[in-house]
Amino acid sequence: MQTRLIDLAEVIRSKNSGPYELTMDILFRTEEDFKRVAAAGVISVDSVCQMYKITPDKVVGILEFPPARAIKITIRRPLCSGDLGETDVYGAQQHAPLLNLTFDLPE
Amino acid sequence: MEKEFRTLSTTAILGYGFPLESFESGLAKQPDLIAADAGSTDPGPYYLGAGVSFTDRNSVKRDLKLMLLAGKSRKIPVIVGTAGGSGAEPHLEWCLDIVREIAQEEKISLRVALIHAEFDKNMILEEWKAGRVKSLEPAPELTEEAILSSEHIVGQMGIEPFIKALELDCDLILAGRSYDPAVFAALPVKLGFDRGLALHLGKILECAAICASPGSGSDCIFGTLGTDWFELEALSPKRKCTTTSVAAHTLYEKSNPYLLPGPGGMLDLRGCSFTDVGNGKVRVKGSKFVPAPKYTIKLEGTHCVGYRTISIAGTRDPIMIREIDATVTAVKERVADNFRDQKWDYHLNFILYGKDGVMGALEPERNNIRSHELGIVIEAVAETQKLADTVCAFARSTMLHYGYPGRIATAGNLAFPFSPSDFHAGPVYEFSVYHLLECDDPVKPFRIETIEL
């Protein structure tokens, strides 16, 4: 059965990390869900590239942070913050594709 | 008894405010320091370049007044970093003017240490030529033009200039661009507390109650630093610190939560533990500071790339919405054609809300319009405001009457919410410098002066 990320996470957010990078945090409700999602590797360079229509070289890193039951994704911003063509100076509204993420989790 | 250092952090950004009740609860806990960070690069390159604050003057005055009166009467130092939001000379002067006004109105004398953080462009150029300015991946390599065209270049000071200023026995230290945790960490480090713990605590305190649950950038937070631990507690009954809320904050706005580079070294949080010790307090242990072989200061600079005029409109016509891409292309071509004799260099852009307006290139559902209406922002950026006005107005009138294929509504394509329809957004800045400067002395580049008010 397909699991929706939004059903397991209590926080899904995006924000600039400096003017050149965008960082997304997924904070899980429970330790168990965090571990299951992390172990299944559903948040991967591949899935991030698919979600954001970017190439793997634009993915700066994907990290797990157990003290916060969190997975963090960092990508390069398409533009330096505030450059001509900008749509989101703070980078605070770039989390939405994660809200739609669904995946299979092993029982 | 174990030595402790207590800090009252008032608000995430000076001017974002805090409830008086939280502030008084914090004062009742006998703080050794009242501090706030006043800046951020989040609002984008404009504020540094234009020399204006992104926070409101009245709001900054309100916060600062409460902090100064409390500090003065209790003989507790008040420290504010990145004055005026960006911490260049005009920002520092702006904030000092507010302090001056408070001193006069409240009839208090204040001894202020002012720490400057704006760098001379020619000095940066010399340093760059000497190979002492490095790129901060993925920022592009620096160029002579980027340095010299910058309106202001600031450097993020570490704790060292603050430690020096603390020797001057002032009521207030008002600093230009600062590494956010420095305002909180300098005094305890001066008193012999562990640098890693003091900086990690500072990293959390600089965002005030954002580390609590529910989080808030406009409420106070209290930090206590011990020999090999620190604790955080919320000051409002509405929120409390939990291990998750504090740990989650460590992630906030950082690319890597384990290794946090800063002036003079790296904060290593790989061995960190977060423990709930009851009474709404969370204790953190194991944060380490690893000095870098070379001390570096992060530089920020922005330059003006033109002037912006925008027009705001909307469309509710399904045929116009269907034909929106062709319409935008045609309008751009018509503008270019109409002024083809002029050698104008301009940027004409259409932000379409309802069609990739928020995520642009990162939008996974690109070109998929599901809305019955679209919001349209026409943006023109050109060498002068007048030229931006011309390009914007011509694009607006062309779009209003453009005959797209299948058009049935022939009276006008756009709904304007306002008259006038076009607005000056003024000078436009972009980041020109975001690099690391190597320096031998972390104090020297930041001039310190004392002012008696």
pLDDT over 90 for what percent of chain B? Answer: 91
CB contact under 8 A, B359 and A96: yes
Rounded average pLDDT over A51-55: 95
Closest approach of A25 to chain B, Cα-based (Å): 7
Q: Rounded to the nearest 10 degrees, what angle do helices B89-106 and B57-74 cross at?
A: 60
Q: Judge: B362–A54 Cβ closer than 8 Å, yes or no.
A: yes
SS3 assignment, position B447 = coil
Q: Which of A78, A85, A90 has its CB closest to that of B362? A: A78
Is there a contact between B138 and A52 if contact means CB atoms under 8 Å apart?
A: no
Direct distance between the N- and C-terminal alpha carbons of chain A, in angstroms, rounded to an integer: 10
Which residues from chain A sit within 8 angstroms of residue B46, using beta carbons? 82
Mean pLDDT for A44-65 is: 95
Q: Under a CB-based contact definition with an 8 Å cutoff, are residues B63 and B208 in contact?
A: no
**Domain boundaries along the sequence of chain B:** 5-118+156-297+442-452, 317-414
User: Looking at the predicted structure, is the pLDDT value of residue B1 above 70?
Assistant: no
Residues of chain B in contact with residue A53, where contact means CB-CB under 8 angstroms, are 361-364, 366
d(CA B418, nearest CA chain A) in Å:
22
pLDDT reported for residue B254: 75
Residue of B nearest to A89 (CA): B44
Query: Are the beta carbons of B255 and A60 separated by less than 8 Å?
Result: yes
The residues that bridge with B8 in the sheet, in sequence order, are B34, B222
Chain A to chain B Cβ contacts (< 8 Å): 129
What percent of chain B is modeled with pLDDT above 70? 100
Task: Determine, for residues B257 and A87 on separate chains, whether the beta-carbon distance falls below 8 Å.
Answer: no
Strand segments, DSSP code E, in B330-382 are 346-353, 374-382
Q: Domains, chain A, ranges and CATH? A: 2-102 (3.30.70)
Distance from C-alpha of B228 to C-alpha of B193, rounded to nearest angstrom: 9
Cα nearest neighbour of B284 on chain A? A67
Residues of chain B found within 8 Å of residue A24, distances taken between Cβ atoms: none
| Interacting residues of B11 by C-beta distance below 8 A, sequence separation 6+ | B17, B18, B36, B63, B208, B217, B218, B219, B220
Strand extents, DSSP E, B339-447: 346-353, 374-382, 422-438
pLDDT at B279: 86
pLDDT number for residue B137: 78
Side by side, the strands of the sheet bearing B265-268 are: B259-262, B265-268, B288-291
ipTM: 0.93
DSSP string computed for A29-96:
SSHHHHHHHHHHT-S-HHHHHHHHT--GGGEEEEEEEGGGTEEEEEEE-SS-TTSTT-S-SS-TT--H
Residue A7 pLDDT exceeds 90: yes
Could you say which of B253, B351, B430 has the minimum Cβ distance to residue A82? B430
Instruction: Please name every residue paired with A103 in a beta bridge, in sequence order, or none if there are none.
Output: A3
A99: closest CA of chain B, how far (Å): 12
Mean pLDDT of B106-121: 97
Cβ–Cβ of B257/A11 closer than 8 Å?
Answer: no
Give the CA count within 13 Å in the CB-facing half-sphere of A31: 4
Segment B146-162 shows an average pLDDT of 97
The answer for A 78-107 residues in CB contact with B (under 8 A) is: 78, 80-90, 93-94, 96-97
Coil, strand or helix at A15: strand
The closest of B266, B314, B271 to B290, measured between CA atoms, is B266
